[in-house]
């Protein structure tokens, strides 16, 4: 079945870039996502990328997709204390008839050091 893997923790210094990595197994995924969850809060859609793209940039966020290796990364430039959260990688499965939904990784806890 579908599986999404990511490291559980990442620690960076304030002002540095953070790179959160993710691997997935379903080659038929249409979209891949990054969600952010702050403590006690819900899931915020940060960005997503269509599977036929290899890069997407949105202000401080850069998403890179290597479809051959099934590898997705999220780079956060100039990391701030407000970026401290859990970041979930997710892949979209299903289209047309039948079930569909997101499969999530276990989340990467981003820890910001002053």
Partner 1 sequence: DTAVSQTPKYLVTQMGNDKSIKCEQNLGHDTMYWYKQDSKKFLKIMFSYNNKELIINETVPNRFSPKSPDKAHLNLHINSLELGDSAVYFCASSPRRGSETQYFGPGTRLLVL
Site membership for partner 1, residue 94 (CB under 8 A): yes
Q: Check if the beta carbon of residue 78 is closer than 8 Å to that of residue 17.
A: yes
Site membership for partner 1, residue 107 (CB under 8 A): yes
Sheet strands (E) in 51-107: 55-58, 61-66, 71-76, 85-93, 101-104
Among 55, 68, 96, 114, binds partner 1 (CB under 8 A): 96
Least Cβ distance, residue 51 to partner 1 (angstroms)? 10
Positions 44 through 63 that interact with partner 1 (CB under 8 A): 44-45, 48, 50
């Amino acid at each position: 079945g579908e599986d999404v893997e990511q490291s559980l923790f990442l620690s960076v210094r304030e002002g540095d870039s953070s790179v959160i990595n993710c691997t997935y197994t379903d080659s038929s995924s249409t979209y891949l996502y990054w969600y952010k969850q702050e403590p006690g809060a819900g899931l915020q859609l940060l960005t997503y990328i269509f599977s036929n793209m290899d890069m997407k940039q949105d202000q401080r966020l850069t998403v890179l997709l290597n479809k051959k290796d099934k590898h997705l990364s999220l780079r956060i430039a100039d990391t701030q204390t407000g970026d401290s959260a859990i970041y979930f990688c997710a892949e979209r499965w299903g289209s047309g008839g039948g079930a569909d939904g997101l499969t999530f990784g276990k989340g990467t806890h981003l820890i910001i050091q002053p």
